[in-house]
Amino acid sequence: MKKTMLYLAALACCLFSLTSCGDDEPDVMANGSYTITFGTDFFKAAHFVIIYYKAVNGDTKRDVVYSGTTWTKTITTKVPAEFGFKIEIEPREELTVDQQFYDISLKGSISSAISSGGTGKYENSETFITLEQNKDSEGNLVNGTEKSKVLSTLKANKENTYGYRLDKDGKPTHYTPSFD
């Protein structure tokens, strides 16, 4: 009986020691937010925009945007993480509206923060296309973009890619993401 109790005690010690060998470090997570802002006349000059973006665990997602002024996505993923987007513009053959000035600016931004287990935070934005009307302090147009320049500018900037990697401590490194 003493031998049986001794074996059971030894077995219990082994079981307790095996369960305590797991990974005690929790996953570090990052919250990322993508925002793309379109100028007020952007979709007068473009049929649509395809936006590819890095989602949870680096998976690629795709949205097609036909109208509006802002596109936003928020994701939460494990770090190290890759944040990035690619914009493909399908320009119109000609403008359907004839006006003196056009605002077809296109700005993209990515912000992220480590939500648990780390201390990093990073925000950055980039203007990909700048063709917008400028106003003086009284709101009068001082210069702008003529119709002839609008479509050629969109065609020249038909595709843009931007991104960065975030390490486990929240330190960013720029890179050009691939979207296959």
Q: From first to last of the 180 residues of the chain, give the pLDDT tens digit.
A: 666 655 555 555 555 555 545 556 677 888 889 999 998 889 988 999 999 999 988 899 999 999 999 999 999 988 888 899 999 999 988 887 777 777 888 888 888 888 765 555 667 777 788 765 556 677 665 555 566 678 888 888 889 888 888 887 778 888 888 887
Scan for tokens 């931007």, then name that residue.
162
pLDDT of residue 112: 84
Taking CA atoms, 70 is separated from 35, 92, 131, in Å, by 7, 20, 17
Environment class of residue 70 by beta-carbon count within 10 Å: exposed (0-12), middle (13-18) or buried (19+)? exposed
- Residue-wise over 102-136: b if at least 16 C-beta within 10 A, else e? bbbbbbbbbbbbbeeebebebeeeeebbebbbeee
Amino acid residing at 169: D
C-alpha triplet 107, 112, 118: angle, nearest 5°: 165
